[in-house]
């Protein structure tokens, strides 16, 4: 049997041939040289024969060549491409049959890249032949051209199929092999990339280097972190909630530790310690499942319902949501669920009796089930309720099942109130809240106000457990005194499932400070509209008045300046304070004035219109805050995410990234899912497109992307970015606006003003310490100055985005002058290509990061743009969004001297993505290094400043390859 190395050595010539294919464009000839390899010859377009040949568009054949052994007919070329495809197919078969030999090999990434670029060349070739066929006036030649076009199109499709197989393999890490038994299935679901030998830890043979890949040629995408935030967040998760982590989460952590160990710099022991903890937990999980499965099968065969319920009740938290366990529970006959319903129905009666004191210790009182019975019944019915909710999510038809959902939810709510927090299903409360939220929306739409309010009240009755990230506001306040952190919560009402939390202080006239906890988040488009509709109903209800809730409809959304000397935001009494006003707002307050909720009320100020800010007295409990938010129509904010919520979010993000034009105007992840995965034809997508979206979403992993922000990232998007010619991202520092003052134009050498290099360097130092921030994030921190055009961005919806320029290989090869970008400055930051893992959105032209579908620009043209005047921006231009590979393709093919493509990233870009910067002169470099040293910075990503800061135009030496250590 051949080794992976032998197999890949056979492909060196294939790689070279694929490179040649990728160069095909109009006016180029593809032919076979004397050695049988494909070659491209570029026609001299300036010569008479060259321009004549190009006009005839022979494309494949070069009939003037008289060299010995050269084959110039398209059939010979196509035959050679067929042989290349056969070779690729053979290596893929070996790869799938022997996955451990190919794990993490850099050549898999290279092969994927080659296939993408070669496919692009074959697509061009096929299109050129189609054009020739249409323009040919001789029937036989037209038929000849049509046959060639069809052949190259078929070969292009085969290349894509093979590339998809590689992508699936990289995502699954060998998971395609069929399990031999249920125990192995569970282990494989935890670490799908492990082979039989590496599964040894499950039998007790713990190896200290469990996550260490032995092959010397294995090179993963690297993150270039000198201090790894990834290890820190894994250590935190393992210490705080190890037993509630799912196997899928443990799998993701294992792969991250494996990646980190390969590039460890002095923290190997920390990584190995976390690895040992992870392995020990995995071993316990697998043994627990083996015991559960054995006893479950035995009891089911004997139809022993009591034992089945007991076994389910005794499941450890980390196994309850494991897909294999879920399938076992869902496979139970209906009679088991009926028994569970009976148990919880009797619990409802007991709860009601005790609540209204109908009976007291009499023989008429219903005997409640045992805690174990309640837990077993609740877990079983939770799976049924969750299944019904998922069906509604997929189909968009909630009305069909709403009565069953209410019945199940009411019974589970009784169990939730009865059980201790440690005895509940880890996701039961969020599932319950999701059910009641959907019921509330259903009742609102049909006009049943009483049931609508009752459903929201029931969500408020759900108990927030202390282990929740926001379950203890005092603990949260102490944790966020120095800086904000991002907490992941339910994905229904909160965009990206991210809530920004920070303990803030405002100065008082007595030179003191008044503290409050600030929670801010963004509502998805549909949820913002639904909230408006909910608030309209609630505002007219007696319960609002009874609870003393007030609404100020004439407020402003304001962000005060931060006083660094005082360590607090400047209070309203301070006459010198500067305040950023982002538009009209509603402010909703509770009776005690200890909780206030601010939300934008001007749809033209899109960022603020979607944003919710909650200010809370730290003495308020999480339960009180949850009840208040539920009462005003925001019931899901303090609930934890379920695996389903994470998958829905990731699926929507992948769909938006891969098909931005088709997804541009869908208003929720649910709508996106239904029209990309369930019914792809609705969005002109294929079943293959839908499968690719789901596969990519499943392969995403959790990562600290900077500033304590955890986000699911897509490694494969980095591969596609690199394969499409992307080499990183850039951002200009030092821009200081536009001037028409003649003296300033003379001083700055144009209409664009620049800061002093020392000021730009100081900004760079802040970025290296805390990441690059969006306008809205700067406002949150009290940094009220800076930015290019924050006013316009608040309107277009991009004020919560960090703007970058995509950098392509041709810009480095041609030594592009970065000073020619639309926004001028004196420092050009360089971001690693791995930044593409965050699935950004973008445009091929400057569109101010447009995200507001209702936007109508008041300006004919933006002065910061070095382009010919265009019509003003409107929301309809969101259809101009392009996937990242297409943006790069346009920039590379057009060879733009003024590239105006823009790519945006949510909220912040962590400093770990920065690997260097470019300045214009050696004197400026010296100034930048001096300022950075004064700020305590002597390296960027582990590289000395002298090596990380470049001078002049872009050049190939400035490229950072993410596939090399």
Per-residue pLDDT tens over the stretch 487-514: 888 877 888 888 999 999 999 887 788 9
Residue 843 — φ and ψ, nearest 5°?
A: -130, 155
Question: Tens digit of pLDDT for each residue in 792-844?
Answer: 889 999 999 999 999 999 899 989 888 877 677 899 999 999 999 999 999 98
Instruction: Name every residue whose Cβ is closer than 8 Å to that of residue 659 and which is 6 or more positions away in sequence.
Output: 676, 683, 685, 689, 883
Q: Provide the percentage of residues in the chain whose pLDDT is more than 90.
A: 36
The torsion angles phi and psi of 18, rounded to 5 degrees, stand at -65, -35
pLDDT tens profile 836-891:
999 999 998 888 899 999 998 765 544 444 555 566 788 999 999 999 988 998 88
Give the Cα separation of 824 and 826 in Å (integer).
Answer: 7
3-state secondary structure 611-669: EEEEEECCCCCHHHHHHHHHHCCCCCCCCCCCHHHHHHHHHHHHHHHHCHHHHCCCCCH
Strand ranges, E, within 37-96: 38-42
The pLDDT value recorded for residue 708 is 80
Contact (Cβ atoms closer than 8 angstroms) between residue 588 and residue 597: yes
Sign of CA dihedral 805, 807, 810, 816: positive
Distance separating alpha carbons of residues 453 and 458, to the nearest angstrom:
9
pLDDT for res 701: 86
Burial of 887 (0-12, 13-18, 19+ CB in 10 A): buried
Q: Would you say the pTM of this structure is higher than 0.95?
A: no
> What band does 7 get if pLDDT is binned at 50, 70 and 90?
low
CA distance 788 to 803: 10
Q: Pull the structure tokens for residue 526.
A: 């549909």
Taking CB atoms within 8 Å and a gap of at least 24, the contacts of 156-161 are 156/119, 156/122, 156/123, 156/126, 158/85, 159/85, 159/88, 159/115, 159/118, 159/119, 159/122, 160/115, 160/119
CA separation for the pair 110, 114 (Å, rounded): 6
pLDDT given for residue 145 in this prediction: 81
Question: Contact, 186 vs 326, CB < 8 A?
Answer: no
Kindly list the distances between the CA atom of residue 395 and the CA atoms of 389, 399, 695, in Å, as whole numbers in the listed order. 10, 11, 20
C-alpha triplet 302, 304, 305: angle, nearest 5°: 145
Give me the residue label for tokens 């039998």.
Answer: 203
What φ, ψ does residue 750 adopt, rounded to 5°?
160, -175
**Residue 59 in contact with residue 128, Cβ under 8 Å?**
yes
Distance CA 121, CA 132 (A): 17
Rounded-to-integer distance, Cα 439 and Cα 405, Å: 8
Higher pLDDT, 173 or 259: 259
pLDDT of residue 266: 63
pLDDT at 797: 93
Q: What is the mean pLDDT of residues 675-700?
A: 89
Pairing of strands 595-600, 579-589: antiparallel
d(CA 790, CA 810) in angstroms, rounded, equals 31
What's the mean pLDDT when you consider all of the chain? 80
Give the residue from 610, 607, 695 showing the smallest Cα distance to 650.
695
Residue 540 has pLDDT above 80, yes or no: yes
**pLDDT for residue 405 is more than 70:** yes
For 245-303, the pLDDT digits (tens) are: 777 777 778 777 777 776 666 667 777 888 888 878 888 888 888 899 999 999 999 99
Confidence of residue 895 (pLDDT cuts 50, 70, 90): low
pLDDT the model gives residue 693: 93
User: Which pLDDT tens digit goes with each residue over 432-481?
Assistant: 999 999 999 999 999 999 999 999 999 999 988 877 888 889 889 988 88
Q: What's the token pair of residue 140?
A: 């036989």
Q: What ranges do the domains of the chain cover?
A: 1-38+105-121, 238-360, 371-461, 497-640, 725-958
């Amino acid at each position: 049997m051949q080794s992976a190395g032998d197999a890949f050595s056979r492909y060196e010539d294939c790689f070279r041939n694929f490179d040649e294919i990728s160069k095909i464009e109009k006016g180029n000839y593809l032919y076979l040289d004397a050695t049988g390899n494909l070659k491209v010859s570029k026609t001299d377009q300036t010569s008479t024969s060259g321009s004549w040949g190009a006009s005839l568009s022979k494309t494949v054949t070069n009939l003037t060549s008289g060299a010995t052994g050269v084959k110039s007919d398209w059939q010979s070329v196509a035959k050679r491409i067929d042989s290349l495809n056969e070779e690729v197919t053979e290596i893929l078969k070996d790869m799938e049959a022997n996955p451990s030999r190919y794990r993490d090999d850099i050549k898999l990434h290279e092969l994927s890249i080659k296939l993408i670029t070669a496919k692009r060349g074959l697509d061009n070739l096929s299109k050129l032949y189609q054009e020739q066929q249409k323009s040919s006036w001789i029937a036989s030649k037209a038929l000849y051209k049509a046959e060639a076009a069809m052949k190259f199109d078929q070969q292009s499709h085969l290349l894509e199929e093979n590339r998809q197989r590689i992508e699936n393999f990289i995502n699954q890490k060998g998971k395609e092999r069929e399990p031999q038994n249920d125990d192995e299935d569970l282990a494989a679901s935890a670490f799908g990339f492990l082979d039989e030998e590496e599964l040894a830890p499950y039998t007790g043979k713990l190896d200290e280097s469990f996550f260490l890949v032995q092959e010397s040629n294995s090179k993963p995408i690297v993150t270039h972190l000198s201090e790894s935030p990834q290890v820190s967040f894994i250590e935190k998760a393992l210490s705080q909630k190890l037993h509630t982590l799912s196997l899928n989460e443990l799998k993701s952590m294992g792969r991250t530790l494996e990646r980190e160990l390969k590039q460890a710099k002095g923290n190997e022991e920390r990584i190995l310690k976390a690895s040992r903890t992870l392995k020990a937990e995995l071993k316990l999980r697998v043994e627990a499942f083996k015991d559960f499965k054995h006893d479950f099968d035995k009891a089911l065969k004997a139809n022993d319902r009591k034992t089945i319920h007991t076994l389910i009740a005794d499941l450890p938290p980390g196994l309850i949501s494991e897909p294999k366990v879920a399938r076992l529970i869902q496979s139970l006959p209906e009679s088991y669920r009926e028994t569970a319903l009976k148990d919880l129905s009797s619990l409802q009666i007991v709860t009601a009796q005790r609540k209204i004191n109908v009976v007291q210790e009499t023989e008429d009182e219903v005997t409640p089930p045992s805690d174990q019975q309640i837990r077993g019944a609740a877990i079983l019915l939770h799976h049924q309720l969750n299944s019904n909710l998922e069906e509604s999510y997929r189909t968009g038809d909630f009305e069909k099942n709403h009565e069953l959902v209410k019945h199940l939810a009411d019974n589970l709510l009784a169990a939730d109130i009865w059980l201790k927090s440690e005895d509940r299903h880890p996701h039961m409360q969020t599932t319950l809240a999701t059910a009641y939220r959907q019921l509330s929306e259903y009742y609102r739409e049909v006009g049943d106000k009483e049931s609508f309010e009752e459903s929201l009240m029931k969500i408020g009755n759900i108990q927030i457990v202390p282990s929740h990230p926001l379950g203890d506001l005092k603990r949260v306040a102490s944790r966020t005194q120095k800086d904000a952190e991002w907490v992941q919560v339910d994905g229904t009402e909160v965009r990206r499932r991210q809530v920004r939390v920070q303990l803030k202080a405002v100065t008082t006239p007595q030179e003191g400070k008044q503290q409050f906890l600030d929670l801010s988040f963004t509502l998805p488009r549909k949820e913002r509209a639904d909230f408006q509709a909910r608030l309209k109903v609630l505002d007219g209800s007696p319960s609002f008045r009874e609870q003393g809730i007030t609404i100020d409809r004439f407020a402003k959304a304001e962000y005060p300046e931060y006083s660094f000397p005082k360590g607090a935001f400047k209070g309203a009494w301070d006459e010198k304070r500067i305040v950023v006003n982002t538009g009209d707002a509603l402010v909703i307050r509770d009776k005690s004035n200890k909780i206030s909720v601010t939300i934008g009320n001007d749809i033209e100020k899109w960022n603020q219109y979607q944003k919710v800010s909650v200010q809370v007295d730290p003495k308020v409990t999480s339960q009180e805050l949850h009840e208040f938010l539920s009462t005003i129509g925001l019931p899901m904010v303090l609930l934890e995410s379920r695996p389903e919520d994470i998958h829905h979010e990731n699926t929507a993000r992948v769909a938006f990234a891969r098909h931005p034009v088709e997804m541009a105007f869908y208003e929720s992840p649910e709508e996106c899912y239904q029209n990309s995965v369930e019914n792809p034809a609705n969005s002109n997508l294929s079943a293959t497109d839908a499968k690719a979206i789901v596969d990519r979403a499943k392969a995403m992993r959790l990562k600290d992307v900077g500033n304590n922000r955890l986000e699911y990232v897509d490694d494969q998007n980095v591969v596609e970015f690199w394969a499409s010619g992307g080499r990183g991202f850039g951002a200009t520092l030092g821009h200081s606006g536009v001037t028409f003052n003649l003296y300033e134009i003379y001083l700055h050498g144009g209409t664009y003003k620049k800061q002093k290099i020392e000021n730009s360097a100081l900004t760079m130092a802040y970025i290296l310490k805390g990441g690059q921030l969006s306008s809205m994030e700067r406002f949150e921190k009290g940094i009220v100055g800076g930015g290019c055009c924050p006013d316009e961005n608040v309107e277009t919806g991009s004020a919560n985005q960090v703007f970058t320029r995509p950098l392509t290989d041709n810009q480095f090869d041609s030594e592009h002058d970065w000073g020619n970008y639309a926004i001028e400055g004196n420092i050009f930051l360089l971001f690693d290509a791995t930044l593409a893992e965050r699935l950004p959105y973008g445009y091929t032209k400057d569109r101010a990061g447009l995200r507001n579908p209702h936007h109508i620009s008041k300006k004919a043209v933006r002065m910061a743009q070095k382009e010919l005047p265009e019509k003003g921006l409107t929301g309809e231009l969101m259809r101009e969004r392009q996937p990242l590979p297409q943006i790069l393709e346009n920039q590379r093919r057009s060879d733009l001297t003024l590239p105006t493509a823009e790519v945006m990233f949510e909220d912040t870009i962590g400093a770990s993505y920065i690997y260097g910067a470019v300045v214009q002169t050696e004197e400026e470099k010296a100034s930048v290094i001096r300022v950075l040293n004064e700020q305590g910075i002597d390296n960027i990503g582990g590289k000395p400043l002298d090596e990380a800061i470049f001078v002049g135009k872009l050049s190939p030496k400035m490229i950072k390859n993410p596939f090399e250590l």
